[in-house]
């Protein structure tokens, strides 16, 4: 291939810039032209792009967010939207695209690939919820951000003998809540993958630890448990905090960490993995290979067919949850 493009799509994640940098510099070293597409598939349909070179990506490896910006694009999923995108590719001599994002972004890459524009997906999402890979770009940084924020909340929680209910991202996956919950010693961890009962899994656990002299508590909640809580008559973490206070007598506060989890300078791991994945994706396109997804398996960079990758399932580590709960008493 002589000309490729790169875009970021969906939610931003720390390390995306490192991946962009790797794509651009690997392409330049292999005598390929690179176009940076702004704002994901919206930008592709609109032809919003510019030519990049090795200096275009100087001093970005340490920056959070994405210099190409990102967006969600429902219109791209229509035949009309895909047709526009393909016409733009042809008009700009784009022979392949590196797509950095999550499952939704990969479905767009698949749709372009089967219509003659080879694409390679690079997993970028803080949720770590892409089944084909052990690790997604942004996950480590987000975990460390959560840990740092909760450590700060713990200072005031402990000072006042309070309970803090903390909601973290993870609409469909509890990896952030599970691993950060273990890291901060949460008394209870509520995940969308695991059935739970507030009375049994929160109230009774708190009462049990109160008997041993514990006076302050952290309850970690993935945002995806909201629907399960509603079936128990609880509408969000604010109401959960009120219920805990009523049932245990412990003053309780709720905190939603929100988009702070997506920001910040990427960790060493995210910079390294993003660089590896971006380079690998570019080399696949150089070889004329598309309809692939880059992944990490047992610390090795591998690639899968997009159809295979999207059909895979990922499960939560129940042994890790068991360990977290056993040692947080």
Statement: 140-262 belongs to CATH 3.40.50.10170: no
For 84-104, the pLDDT digits (tens) are 999 999 999 999 999 999 999
Per-residue confidence (pLDDT) for residue 73, from 0 to 100: 85
Of the candidates 127, 129, 140, 201, the residue annotated as catalytic is: 127
Identify the H or E element spanning 189: strand 188-190
For 157-169, the pLDDT digits (tens) are 999 999 999 999 9
Helix and strand numbers, DSSP H then E, in the chain: 13, 11
Q: CA–CA separation, 122 vs 197, rounded Å?
A: 37
**By percentage, how much of the chain surpasses pLDDT 70?**
100
**Threshold 0.85, pTM exceeds:** yes
For 26-55, the pLDDT digits (tens) are 999 999 999 999 999 999 999 999 999 999
> Please, what is the angle between helix 175-184 and helix 318-327, to 10°?
30
Q: Using pLDDT thresholds of 50, 70 and 90, give the confidence band for residue 1.
A: confident
Per-residue confidence (pLDDT) for residue 31, from 0 to 100: 97
For 267-304, the pLDDT digits (tens) are 999 999 999 999 999 999 999 999 999 999 999 999 99
Three-state DSSP class for 123? Answer: strand
Residue count (the chain): 329
8 A C-beta contact, residue 52 and residue 24? yes
For 108-129, the pLDDT digits (tens) are 999 999 999 999 999 999 999 9
Greater model confidence, 280 or 77: 280
Q: CA–CA separation, 45 vs 42, rounded Å?
A: 5
- Is 12 marked active-site? no
8 A C-beta contact, residue 187 and residue 217? yes
Residues 6+ apart with CB under 8 A from 4: 23, 27, 32, 33, 34, 35, 94, 95, 96, 97, 98, 282, 285
Per-residue confidence (pLDDT) for residue 35, from 0 to 100: 98
For 226-263, the pLDDT digits (tens) are 888 999 999 999 999 999 999 999 999 999 999 999 99
- Eight-state DSSP code of residue 267: P
Per-residue confidence (pLDDT) for residue 72, from 0 to 100: 84
Q: Which residue has 């952030």 as its token pair?
A: 176
Q: Which of 88, 37, 77, 22 is nearest to 294 (CA)?
A: 22
**Domain covering 3-138+266-311: architecture:** 3-Layer(aba) Sandwich (3.40)
8 A C-beta contact, residue 106 and residue 99? yes
Q: CA–CA separation, 73 vs 296, rounded Å?
A: 27
Q: What is the mean pLDDT of the chain?
A: 96
The residue ranges of every structural domain in the chain are: 3-138+266-311, 140-262
Q: CA–CA separation, 111 vs 44, rounded Å?
A: 14
Instruction: Give the number of other Cβ atoms within 10 Å of residue 107's Cβ.
Output: 17
DSSP assignment string, 71-118: ---GGGGSHHHHHHHHHHHHHTT--EEEEEE-HHHHHHHHHHHTTT--
For 188-224, the pLDDT digits (tens) are 999 999 999 999 999 999 999 999 999 999 999 999 9
Q: CA–CA separation, 42 vs 88, rounded Å?
A: 12
8 A C-beta contact, residue 24 and residue 116? no
What are the structure tokens assigned to 312, written together?
Answer: 């895979």
Query: Residue 71: is its pLDDT beyond 90?
Result: no
Q: By CB neighbour count within 10 A (0-12 exposed, 13-18 middle, 19+ buried), where does 283 fall?
A: middle
């Amino acid at each position: 291939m002589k000309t490729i493009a790169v875009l970021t799509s969906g939610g931003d994640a720390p390390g995306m810039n490192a991946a962009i940098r790797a794509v651009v510099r690997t392409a330049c070293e292999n005598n390929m032209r690179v176009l940076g597409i702004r704002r994901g598939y919206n930008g592709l349909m609109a032809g919003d792009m510019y030519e990049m070179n090795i200096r275009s990506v100087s001093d970005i490896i340490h920056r959070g967010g994405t210099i190409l910006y990102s967006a969600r694009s429902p219109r791209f999923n229509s035949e009309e939207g895909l047709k526009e995108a393909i016409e733009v590719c042809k008009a700009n001599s784009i022979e392949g695209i590196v797509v950095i994002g999550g499952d939704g972004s990969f479905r767009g890459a698949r749709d372009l690939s089967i219509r003659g524009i080879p694409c390679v997906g690079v997993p970028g999402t803080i949720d770590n919820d892409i089944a084909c890979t052990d690790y997604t770009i942004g996950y480590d940084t987000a975990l460390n951000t959560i840990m740092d924020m909760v450590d700060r909340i713990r200072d005031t929680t402990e000072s006042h003998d309070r309970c803090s209910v903390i909601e973290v991202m993870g609409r469909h996956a509890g990896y952030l809540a599970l691993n950060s919950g273990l890291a901060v010693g949460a008394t209870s961890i509520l995940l969308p993958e695991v059935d739970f009962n507030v009375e049994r899994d929160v109230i009774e656990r708190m009462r049990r630890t109160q008997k041993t002299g514990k006076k302050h508590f952290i309850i970690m909640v993935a945002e995806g448990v909201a629907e399960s809580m509603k079936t128990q008559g609880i509408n969000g973490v604010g109401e959960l905090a009120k219920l805990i206070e009523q049932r245990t007598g412990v003053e309780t506060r709720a905190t939603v960490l929100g988009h702070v989890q997506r920001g910040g300078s990427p960790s060493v791991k995210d910079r390294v993995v993003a660089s590896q994945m971006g380079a690998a994706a570019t080399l696949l396109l150089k070889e004329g290979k598309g309809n692939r997804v880059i992944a990490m398996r047992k610390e090795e960079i591998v690639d899968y067919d997009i159809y295979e990758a999207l059909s895979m399932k990922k499960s939560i580590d129940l042994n890790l949850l068991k360990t977290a709960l056993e040692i947080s008493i």
